[in-house]
Every structure is written in structure tokens, then in C-alpha cells.
Amino acid sequence: MSDYNLLIDPLPAGWKNHLFGDVCDRVKDSYQPVDGGDTPYVGLEHLAQGFPAFVGRGTESDIKSSKTAFKAGDILFGKLRPYLRKGARADFDGVCSTDILAFRARAGCEATFLHFLIHCDEFIDHAKSTTSGVQHPRTSWPSLKEFRLTLPPLPEQKKIAHILSTVQRAIEAQERIIQTTTELKKALMHKLLTEGLRNEPQKQTEIGPMPESWEVVELGSLAKVGNGSTPKRANEAYWEGGTIPWLNSTKIHDRFITEADQFVTPQAVKECHLPRVAPNSLLIAITGQGKTLGNSAITRIETCINQHLAYAQFHAAKIVPVFVLWFMQTRYDNLRAIAHGGGSTKGALTCGFLKTLPIPVPSRAEQEEIATTFQTLEDKQHFAVRRQAGLQNLFRTLLHQLMTAKTRVHELGFSV
């Protein structure tokens, strides 16, 4: 038997010890998909990771083999790699993957309470400890039904579920703000970087339509372009006690870089000929894994960089660096396609290519206005991200505190 449990000692008044199999049943109803059918289908990819929510759904026309049929109110839990914490309460009838277990709450157990219970650390730890298979670890109903827990009385379950649901809705509201702001920013980028702000007639250029007064200039004529390197790690004189910021390509995702995680010594700068990149320079990831390649950022500090980053240190007074940053966001897919398919080096960009990269140049005043518009949206998005992170921390804290009776609903202003 697993050592992980959610038993409370001493027992709060009205709370009782149970096995998980005492409070819910596994749904075993089988369903054979019909060609062209429209019954909702839930696969593991449709369950949010680490949060009790859905992130989409398919239809039975997407699948062929027999699946599990569930009803609205049932709880779906991903048994494959349970450490991913995939589980949510369905508010619709449908069918689900065989890598998902469906639970149906018994009398005396509130379904929404159960939907939060399966996200408790103790339940997840129990599930992880009962998996089998190395490449595809799965838990099972016979193992999960033996999980031991202390269950509050039904009225308190409902109050706990209500509190956690309120926080969950607030988290989801912030996610909608983030998504809406992202979509608005993308639409505005296309509009403002092709039409500008002055309602001017447009002209066709090598990078698409733009206002007649705008120029198209190669990046190399606006800035010094180069890349960095990595001093030998084995040479302690290059790293030990270093005070000069040094960036690798992972920092590109910060968008506006205000600090470094690593530092090199003056000796490393001198002997390895590291460029000192000035503040307000553009950094571009010229190689990288995942989403790194093709991304850009502005450094707000003087820094050195590694060989996976290029820099554009602007010397033209007519350029607003942040405007170029926002333009580079629109070239992300194009840069990745060039790097992987038609650039000078397979799977990478080169400084030679970047020097020839065409950049739109409106008046400095218009650049500043456009940059300010995007920055306002960026600030709004960052505020929503921070607020969402705070709410997620609150959710995790309340989930633990309420499920273990360390905090009671009446202490939060709810009467039972």
C-alpha cells in the first residue's frame, strides 16, 4: 500500500476516513465511435496540465477504437504520466481516451469537490507511486481506489468547492485577458507596421505594403551587427569572480533584459575578444532549441553574449530600438523558415544575413508612438500574467489548507 494519503489526525468534527473507492466509482461504459459522429471526445491533450480545466475537445469522428463513455458531472483523470496532473470535471456528455479514467461521485461526495481532490499533492504522489511501465508510466483504478483520505461532511465539501471554484474562475479570467491581449497585439502589429498612424497612401516594398513616407533600410546600415562567444568553462580565470554580465540564448525570452545570470571576468573579455554590447541593443537568437531561434530582445544593460546570439548595436539617431524589436516579432516565423530552409547555414541565421535584413523606418516620432502602443499592451499582458501567477499560488495554498483542514471554511467567512 502507498504511504501517501490525505488522512487527518485528529479527525475534525463530522469528517470521516474513507478509501477513494468509497467516495466514487469508476465509469466503465464502453462506446464504439461512429463514422461522422459528433459526440464530444476528450483525449489527454484536451486536459490542462496542473490545473482542473479543459483546453479543448475533439469529436468521435477523430477516433476509431472503443472508448469510455462519460456523463456530465463525471471527473476525468489522466492515468498516463499522472505527474502531469491532468484532471477536470466534465459539464457535458462525451467519450474519453482509454488513458483517462472517469470517476462518478457517490452519494455523500460532491463532484466538484472530487474534481479538486484529485489535484492534491497527496493524491498525485499516490498515483505516481503506483504507476507501472518505464516509457509510459500508468496508474490504475485498483491502485487509486485504495488512496486513503479524510472526507468532510457534504455541506463543507460544497463550501470548499465553492471557494476553490471562485479562485479557478478568477485564474481563467486572467487567462482570457492574456489571450485577448496577445491576439490584439498581433492584429495591431500587422496593422500599424503596414499602415502606420498617419493614414498615408501606401506603397509596395520588398517586405510588403507600408506608408509612402517610410523607408526600407538594411539593418547593417542602422547598427553594428555581430555575435559573441563562450569563454572556456575550464579556465577559472574567465569565470571565477566575474563581474561583467554575460548572456546566453535562454535570456532572449525576457524580451527586455535587465539583469544577467552569469558573469565573466575582464580577462575573459580581453583574451576571448568578447564584444561589449551597449544598452538598448537588439539581441537575436541565431540558433536554439524549441521556440528560441528567431526570437529577439532588447538589452537594458551593457553585456557580453554567447555565440548563439547576435546583436545589433544601433548608431543611427533616426532609429528607436524598441520599434525595431516589435517589427522583429512580426518576422519570427520568416526568420525560422530561413534558418531551417534557405539561410546561409542550415538551422541557423548568420550575421551576414542579418546585416541585409530589411527594416521599415518611419519618422522617429511615429516609431515612438507605435512602440508606446505596443508597450501599453505588453504592460497589460504582464500585469495579467503576474496576477494569474498570484492567483495560482493562492489556489495551490487554499487547496492544501482546505483539504487538510488546516484552514476551515468558517475562517474564510463561509458558514457551514
Single-letter amino acid, residue 373: T
In this structure, what CATH number is given to the domain that contains residue 64?
3.90.220.20
> Does some domain include residue 395?
no
Q: Directed axis angle between helix 321-330 and helix 154-195, to 10°? A: 110
CA distances (Å), origin 99, targets 26, 67, 118, 146, 266: 13, 10, 16, 19, 56
> Does some domain include residue 231?
yes
pLDDT 10s digits, 375-396 = 999 999 999 999 999 999 999 9
Task: Judge if 108 and 25 occupy the same domain.
Answer: yes
pLDDT at 344 over 50: no
Task: Judge if 321 and 221 occupy the same domain.
Answer: yes
Identify the DSSP state of 161.
H
pLDDT at 101 over 50: yes
pLDDT bin (cut points 50, 70, 90) of residue 345 is very low
In angstroms, how far is CA 245 from the centroid of its own chain?
27
Element holding 150 (H helix, E strand): strand 148-151
> Does some domain include residue 113?
yes
> Does some domain include residue 378?
no
Task: Judge if 221 and 335 occupy the same domain.
Answer: yes
Q: What is the pTM of this model?
A: 0.81
> Does some domain include residue 123?
yes
Task: Judge if 146 and 254 occupy the same domain.
Answer: no
Q: What angle do CA 325, 330, 332 make, to 5 degrees?
A: 90
Of the listed ranges 19-23, 127-131, 277-281, 335-339, the least confidently predicted one is 335-339
pLDDT 10s digits, 107-153 = 999 999 999 999 999 999 999 999 999 899 999 999 999 999 999 99
At 343, give phi and psi (nearest 5°).
-80, 180
Per-residue pLDDT, 242: 96
Q: What is the DSSP string of 1-55?
A: --S--B--SSPPTT-EEEEHHHHEEE---EE---TT---EEE-GGGB-SSSS-B-
Task: Judge if 137 and 228 occupy the same domain.
Answer: no
Q: How many domains does the chain have?
A: 2
Element holding 211 (H helix, E strand): strand 208-211
> Does some domain include residue 163?
no
pLDDT at 343 over 90: no
Domain finish residue from 332, 361, 390: 361
pLDDT at 416 over 60: no
User: What is the residue-averaged pLDDT of the chain?
Assistant: 94
143 with 130: CB under 8 angstroms? yes
pLDDT 10s digits, 37-51 = 899 999 999 999 999
> Does some domain include residue 118?
yes
Identify the domain containing residue 298 by its residue range.
215-361
Q: How far apart are CA 4 and CA 122, in angstroms?
A: 6
Which SS3 state, helix, strand or coil, does residue 416 take? coil
In the predicted model, what is the mean pLDDT of residues 333-346?
72
Assign 3-class secondary structure to 71-127: CCCCEEEECECHHHCCEEECCCCEEECCCEEEEEECCCCCHHHHHHHCCCHHHHHHH
CA distances (Å), origin 345, targets 59, 230, 339, 349, 352: 43, 20, 7, 6, 11
